[in-house]
Amino acid sequence: MAEAARSTADEPVPSDLSAAQLEEMYRYMRLTRELEQALVNLYRQNKVVGGLYRSLGQEGCAVGTAYALRRRTDGTGDVISPAIRNLGALLLMGARPVDVLRQYMARADSPTRGREQNVHFSDRDRGFIGLISHLGVMVEVMAGVALSFRIRGEDRVGLVYIGDGGTSTGGFHEGFNFAAARRLPLVLVVENNQYAYSTPVARQTAAESFVAKAPGYGVWGEQCDGNDVLAVYETTRRAVAHARAGEGAALVELMTYRRKGHAEHDAQGYVPDGEIELWEKRDPVDRFHQRLLDAGVATGARLDAIAAEARAVVDEARESAEASPLPEPDGVLGGVFADDSGRAPWTRRTPLDPHQA
Amino acid sequence: MRHLATTTTKRNGRGVEKPEHVRNTEEGRPVTFLEAIREALWEEMERDPTVFVLGEDIGVYGGAFKMTDGFLAAFGEERVIDTPISEAGFTGAAAGAAHMGLRPVVEMQFMDFVSCAYEPLTNYIATSRWRGAGPLPMVVRGPVGGGVRGGPFHSQNPEMAFFHTPGLKIVYPSTARDAKGLLKAAIRDDDPVLFFEHKKLYRAPALREQLPNEDYTVPIGEARVHREGRDVTIATYGMMVHESQRAADELAGEVDVEILDLRTLAPLDEAAIVESVKKTSRLLVVHEDTRTGGIAGEIAMRASEKAFEWLDAPILRVTAIDSPVPYSPPLEDYFLPQVNDIVAACRYLASY
């Protein structure tokens, strides 16, 4: 029942992926990187209202995992809940770059109409449910999404991401144990990027790895190199197949590294010298680029064209987002309840004079 | 949904008969507060295949108070779910299922344990519609209240821990008829509803009543005049409706008390409170919950904003004292608001 196999070695390019699919993975990794670079520029121009959370060096985790899913646009596919550094997964599921930009820039026509920020937005038809800042709760929520698949007899799978830090929360345990105990089709991806804000993974757990927790929950588990997008894809594909087949929940640990700070303001003074440089050499986009060349899947010119195309997509989205208006102040009103036209005591709607009340 | 509907039809078609203990109303027998709630749950699960229940020990065992006794056999283990001991986990999971179009009804074995689910309820569930993540039609229900020698962790009234959170509805009925109608309304509501059931009312013989043999709901957000009176308004809810009634009986011929049963705390029926205050010009708030930060403060503020010039006396409150709920009878009786406290407060207001 419980096993914790490991596959860290590079594998050949999986035979079931066509050249077009491999190029698509590459395109989404590049798109993620280009979009975040645009966000960095906007952040420096003070056009990003809140914090900026980057996934530099982790693009393979997001894209490789989501690529293993059944992606639909009509609400019948698999459902994910991305963590803050899974922008690539969100894009792959169908989120538009312009929506991400508008979210960060708090514009009126962002998916949450300026009420929420960054990747905290949802699209049930495209199969993603936005996270909130409280870590762990999405594991609980996604256990319930997987429960709904079981109740309705649908062969869909839920996939939820959490970081090494998030594994310490109660929600991680309660949600995952619930899914494990009921053998629900939930894949839990622990993206181990070595740091939770400034706290290294050794201060987060005494376990030798996060995949080592899989047998404790009685679930299938596998760990792989998170900077190898094809290894991520293969491992997640096995986990998803396991869950879809009714074999129960699965845990995937992706070994990666957060090359930027927790958010853009974080100068990473807590990182030992040389560590970031070491991981730059393991960059997942560069590695995949080289691998596609070595395997003869694509030419350098073709991959350059894909990158240029991603840049163009982002440029167009940025122009559109910059032209978007900020919300009207009273856009804050409404939507708390299905029908909140009546009794809710909106302060500025309450007449001060009791005779008018 | 097709799959689910088929399962239900088959199961019922296979002849799992509706047990006697959920047939009281249709066979013309009066029901207790608990039986009224059970009938509401059963009828909603029969009516709507997206409704399902989950919680600790609710399946095989039928729940700590036997609320879901017989449900597992009738509705199957995909709709009557025994959960691990994990209030946050299964409350969060209910939200996930609600996202996908189901209507979960979560049972807290005791509402004291809802504090473990404070995180998903206040941060995730309450905000979901507002932040564009979609409506979460779900109910979290369970037994509350003291006077049963349950001690500090099986006697709480945690409604005010959630009252302050925009996005949550809070229902707290005091009669069998309201309990059934309000729970049905809560299950059909498109917003998350916390549903508080005073455990001392569950099997109280005095609350046994014959309910209409029809599918009825009681609207959320509307108070009810429990007793009409001219001299003093008591705004209250839950167990204290009945304690206030006893006080009113004792004061009969001396002070004519109007009792307003709030029934829903959020959204609060401000109009009903203001209307009653304009009639009696005196307001007493009675709640079993502890004093500081209790709903009396909010009600007094609303009365001040909307009916100050109609008031002829200060607004008073009778509440539990600010302490955890004690176990030993003399201690708990001292802790809880008593009928003579309500009588004294009414007399003071009437003579002010």
Instruction: Spell out which residues of chain B touch residue A181, defining contact as CB-CB under 8 Å.
Output: 84
pLDDT at residue B10, as a whole number: 39
Task: Identify whether the C-beta of residue B64 lies closer than 8 Å to the C-beta of residue B57.
Answer: yes
Encoded tokens for B233:
């308004």
Encoded tokens for B220:
């959320």
- Nearest CA to CA, how far is B310 from chain A (Å)? 10
Q: Do B92 and A122 touch (CB under 8 A)?
A: no
- Nearest CA to CA, how far is B267 from chain A (Å)? 7
pLDDT at residue B211, as a whole number: 98
Instruction: Spell out which residues of chain B touch residue A74, defining contact as CB-CB under 8 Å.
Output: none
Percentage with pLDDT > 70 across chain A: 91
Please, which residues 249-278 of chain A have a Cβ atom closer than 8 Å to chain B? Answer: none
Instruction: Grade residue A331 by pLDDT with cuts at 50, 70 and 90.
Output: confident
Q: Do B93 and A120 touch (CB under 8 A)?
A: no
pLDDT less than 50: residues of chain B:
1-14
Q: Where are the beta strands (DSSP E) in chain B?
A: 51-55, 80-82, 103-107, 139-144, 169-171, 193-198, 224-227, 232-236, 257-261, 264-266, 283-290, 316-320
pLDDT at residue A332, as a whole number: 84
For range A325-334, the mean pLDDT? 89
Query: H or E segment at B296?
Result: helix B295-307
Best residue in A79, A81, A119, A140 for a mutation probing chain B (most B CBs within 10 Å): A140
Residues B168 and B222: their CA atoms lie apart, in Å, by 16
pLDDT tens digits, residue range B13-62?
A: 445 779 999 999 999 999 999 999 999 999 999 999 999 999 999 999 99
pLDDT at A197 over 80: yes
Q: Please check whether residue A335 touches B, CB under 8 A.
A: yes
Using the CB atoms, write b or e for A98-129: b if 16+ within 10 Å. bbbbbbbbbbeebbbbbbbbbbbbbbeebbbb
Strand ranges across the sheet with A3-7? A3-7, A220-225, A250-255, A186-192, A158-163, A79-81
Q: Please check whether residue A218 touches B, CB under 8 A.
A: no
Find out whether the peptide bond into B267 is cis, omega within 30 degrees of 0.
yes
Q: Which of B3, B21, B99, B154 is catalytic?
A: B154
For range A58-82, the mean pLDDT? 98
Residues A68 and A195: their CA atoms lie apart, in Å, by 26
Q: Among B99, B119, B270, whose Cβ lies nearest the Cβ of A124?
A: B99
Instruction: Grade residue A333 by pLDDT with cuts at 50, 70 and 90.
Output: confident
Q: Do A337 and B271 touch (CB under 8 A)?
A: no
Q: Do A175 and B83 touch (CB under 8 A)?
A: no
Q: Do A175 and B99 touch (CB under 8 A)?
A: no
Task: Identify whether the C-beta of residue B107 lies closer than 8 Å to the C-beta of residue B55.
Answer: yes
pLDDT tens digits, residue range A2-49?
A: 333 334 345 556 768 999 999 999 999 999 999 999 999 999 999 999
pLDDT at A120 over 50: yes
* Residue B287 falls in the annotated catalytic set: no
Q: Please check whether residue B262 touches A, CB under 8 A.
A: no
Q: Please check whether residue B16 touches A, CB under 8 A.
A: no
Interface pTM (ipTM) of the complex? 0.91
pLDDT tens digits, residue range A254-300?
A: 999 999 999 999 999 999 999 999 999 999 999 999 999 999 999 99
Query: H or E segment at B307?
Result: helix B295-307
Instruction: Grade residue A304 by pLDDT with cuts at 50, 70 and 90.
Output: very high
* B99: nearest Cα among A74, A155, A139, A142: A142
| First-to-final CA distance of chain B | 62
Task: Identify whether the C-beta of residue B190 lies closer than 8 Å to the C-beta of residue B21.
Answer: no
Alpha helices in chain A (DSSP H): 19-44, 59-67, 87-93, 97-104, 137-152, 170-181, 214-217, 229-244, 275-280, 284-294, 300-323
Instruction: Spell out which residues of chain A touch residue B130, defining contact as CB-CB under 8 Å.
Output: 115, 335-336
pLDDT at residue A12, as a whole number: 59
Q: Do B90 and A178 touch (CB under 8 A)?
A: yes
pLDDT at residue A356, as a whole number: 63
pLDDT at residue A341, as a whole number: 66
Q: Do B305 and A147 touch (CB under 8 A)?
A: no
Q: Among B81, B267, B306, whose Cβ lies nearest the Cβ of A354?
A: B306
Best residue in B7, B10, B100 for a mutation probing chain A (most A CBs within 10 Å): B100
Please, which residues 3-32 of chain A have a Cβ atom closer than 8 Å to chain B? Answer: none
Instruction: Grade residue A339 by pLDDT with cuts at 50, 70 and 90.
Output: confident
